[in-house]
Amino acid sequence: MTPLTDPTCPPLDLVDDLRRKGLIAADVQFQTLYGGRTNHVWKVLGENGGKVLKLYRAALRNPLFRNDAELEAQCLSILEPAGFAPRLRATGRHESGRWVFYDHAPGAPWREGVDAVAQLLRRLHALALSVQAPKGCNGSTDLARHGQNILNGCSSPDRHLLESLKPNEQVPSTNQTCLIHGDPVAGNILVATSGLTLIDWQCPALGDPCEDLALFLSPAMQHIYRGAALTAKEEDQFLSAYNHAATVDRYHSLQRWYAWRMAAYCLWRVENGTPDYAAGFELELATL
């Protein structure tokens, strides 16, 4: 697979292919979008409000967040009419990886106002959709296995610390599964006057809605994408606005498991060259 020689611009042969398909104009300009941490993403300037070209880095293997172009294309097609995602325009394959081309969603990454995010996720989880997504983690046994798999990829002494802090609460799986976004962090929630939009649908699942709640509330993810963890008051406000007592109770019973797995993920990121996750590791340890 050929690496990009200049990641600030799409590969020229891919640009030519998009032109031949009539998706972009001959004199179009691209602007690199730096919000994502996984794939190469560019805004196509002009183009009736702008489009987005995402080129997937297929060689990247992330133990927590899947990176599936076909799943993203499927979710964009199904969820755009309901206002949850931008409109898909095209998808295809390039020697550097798969790509998707979709409308640029207006707005800025979420910074404050937890009620609106809780209500957005609640509406998403209530949808009855036919999506060919994999099953997500469901219950403490799944979370224990997933967290341990991540830890198995770590080698620093902190691995043994985390293994000693492994929760012991047993929480069964739930039959109340639904489509979950799988990565609803602040950077993937765009806020505009028209409302909120979820982007980066590359790791959805059919799973426990608590997974989305835990990822949004995660102190590490809030710190990475927003610069600070939520306050206890904001967390309580979010869970209240989600307005589903059974799911909130279940989240509380699984909270330490989610924190343990996220701490393992932060440790893995640090050991694999992303030192800004060190603060997230400490924040998740504090939750434990």
pLDDT beyond 70 at 81 = yes
Please, are residues 154 and 264 in contact by the beta-carbon 8 Å criterion?
yes
The whole-chain average pLDDT of the chain stands at 93
- The answer to whether the CB of 198 falls within 8 A of the CB of 85 is yes
Rg (CA), the chain: 19
49-53, 73-77, 218-222, 235-239: least confidently modelled range: 49-53
Question: Domain locations in the chain?
Answer: 12-103, 108-287
Which superfamily does 12-103 belong to? Phosphorylase Kinase; domain 1 (3.30.200.20)
Determine the pLDDT at residue 178.
96
Neighbours of 100 (CB within 10 A): 24
Residues 221/199, Cβ–Cβ less than 8 Å: no
Instruction: Estimate the share of the chain in helix, then strand, then coil, as percent rounded to the nearest 5.
Output: 45, 15, 40
What CATH code is assigned to 108-287?
3.90.1200.10
Dump pLDDT digits (tens) for 106-142.
999 999 999 999 999 999 999 998 889 999 999 999 9
Q: How confident is the model at residue 1 (pLDDT cuts 50, 70, 90)?
A: very low
**For the segment 159-207, what is each residue's pLDDT rounded down to a tens digit?**
999 999 999 999 999 999 999 999 999 999 999 999 999 999 999 999 9
> Which structure tokens are listed for 276?
């800004």
Looking at residues 11-28, what average pLDDT do you find? 94
